[in-house]
């Protein structure tokens, strides 16, 4: 696994500056100049820079940014749908489980790596439209009441799944499917340890309900790109905490 990690980290470093979305034109220009001057042999120097990507050049507000943060305080509009949804080429619980293209590709690579470790992962949920989420949430409210439902399910517009960057994962035997005990399965443990190597983070960690607004969901992973996933994973913090995006 160490060798694998090193390979992935070097891929991550090569990718520095190219996947970071920014609306600051001057910084973009600087990045472009740097990229054009970089040769393969000098890219490794980027290691320090990747540690230093300041949060202010990441775009948490643009719905199309892979770094967008959606939570109970930051919602998506009813009509938002990503433009680049594709069907991930992985095992899925139903025929259609679309995700944004970049996330779908990363998911495929993660599933392939997990398979090499003997795990049979399955995508349980990817993109969900506003109206689908509304139906889901209304059902939970009818069953458990609104307050209880909102601890484990998002109101429409507040679901990360509407970004096309979130994935609920399980295994094909459906053991502990969307249940807390998934954390103790081999797949749950593997994902918690390795998903960042593919650009995903465990979005709703244990004992962070006060921060995220949701109970521990060991099955829910969010794609934020390799560089940021590495940094967030290393920090042990939630997205809200790591980026100081609490209000």
Just list the catalytic residues: 217
Site string for Zn ion, 115-154 (x = CB under 5 A): ----------------------------------------
Distance, in Å, from the CA atom of 211 to the CA atom of 184, rounded to the nearest integer, reads 23
In this chain, which stretch among 7-15, 116-124, 177-185, 212-220 interacts with Zn ion, using CB under 5 A?
Answer: 212-220
CB of 166 to Zn ion, least distance (A): 5
* Greatest Cα pair distance in the chain: 59
Q: Which CB, 3 or 94, lies closer to Zn ion?
A: 94
Strand 85-86 versus strand 121-125 pairing type: unpaired
Contact 183, 209 (CB under 8 A): no
CB of 161 to Zn ion, least distance (A): 6
Residue of closest CB approach to Zn ion: 220
In this chain, which stretch among 47-55, 59-67, 86-94, 215-223 interacts with Zn ion, using CB under 5 A?
Answer: 215-223
Contact 191, 198 (CB under 8 A): no
Q: How many residues bind Zn ion (CB under 5 A)?
A: 2
Displacement of CA 67 from its chain's centroid (Å)? 9
Distance, in Å, from the CA atom of 59 to the CA atom of 23, rounded to the nearest integer, reads 8
Site string for Zn ion, 13-32 (x = CB under 5 A): --------------------
Site string for Zn ion, 53-92 (x = CB under 5 A): ----------------------------------------
Distance, in Å, from the CA atom of 147 to the CA atom of 141, rounded to the nearest integer, reads 8
Q: Which CB, 9 or 178, lies closer to Zn ion?
A: 178
Q: Which CB, 31 or 220, lies closer to Zn ion?
A: 220
**Crossing angle for the helix pair 226-235 and 2-14, nearest 10 degrees?**
120
Report the residue from 67, 100, 183, 220 that binds Zn ion according to the rule CB under 5 A. 220
CB of 132 to Zn ion, least distance (A): 12
CB of 148 to Zn ion, least distance (A): 17
Count Cβ atoms below 10 Å from residue 78 Cβ, excluding itself: 13
Q: Which CB, 168 or 240, lies closer to Zn ion?
A: 168
The alpha helices in the chain, defined as continuous H runs, are: 2-14, 25-37, 46-51, 101-116, 130-144, 146-152, 186-194, 209-212, 226-235, 239-242
Contact 150, 109 (CB under 8 A): no
Site string for Zn ion, 154-193 (x = CB under 5 A): --------------x-------------------------
Which has the closest alpha carbon to 67: 52, 53, 78? 53
- Which parts of this chain interact with Zn ion (CB under 5 A)? 168, 220
């Amino acid at each position: 696994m160490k060798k694998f990690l090193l390979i992935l980290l070097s891929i991550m470093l090569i990718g520095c500056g190219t996947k970071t979305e920014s609306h600051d034109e001057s910084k973009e220009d600087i990045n472009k100049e740097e990229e054009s001057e970089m040769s393969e042999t000098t890219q490794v120097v980027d290691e320090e820079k990747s540690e230093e990507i300041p949060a202010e050049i990441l775009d948490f507000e643009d719905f199309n940014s892979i770094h967008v943060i959606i939570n109970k305080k930051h919602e998506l509009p009813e009509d938002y749908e990503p433009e680049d949804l594709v069907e991930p080429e992985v095992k899925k619980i139903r025929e259609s489980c679309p995700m944004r293209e970049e996330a779908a590709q990363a998911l495929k690579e993660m599933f392939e790596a997990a398979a090499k470790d003997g795990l049979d992962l399955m995508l349980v949920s990817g993109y969900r439209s506003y109206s689908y989420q509304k139906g889901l949430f209304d059902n939970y409210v009818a069953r458990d009441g609104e307050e209880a439902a909102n601890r484990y399910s998002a109101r429409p517009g507040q679901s990360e799944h509407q970004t096309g960057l979130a994935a609920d994962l399980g295994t094909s035997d459906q053991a502990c499917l969307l249940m807390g005990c998934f954390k103790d399965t081999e797949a749950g443990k593997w994902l918690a340890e390795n998903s960042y190597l593919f650009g995903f983070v465990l979005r709703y960690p244990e004992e962070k309900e006060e921060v995220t607004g949701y109970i521990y969901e060991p099955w829910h992973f969010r794609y934020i790109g390799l560089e940021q996933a590495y940094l967030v994973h290393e920090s042990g913090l939630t997205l809200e905490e790591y980026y100081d995006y609490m209000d």
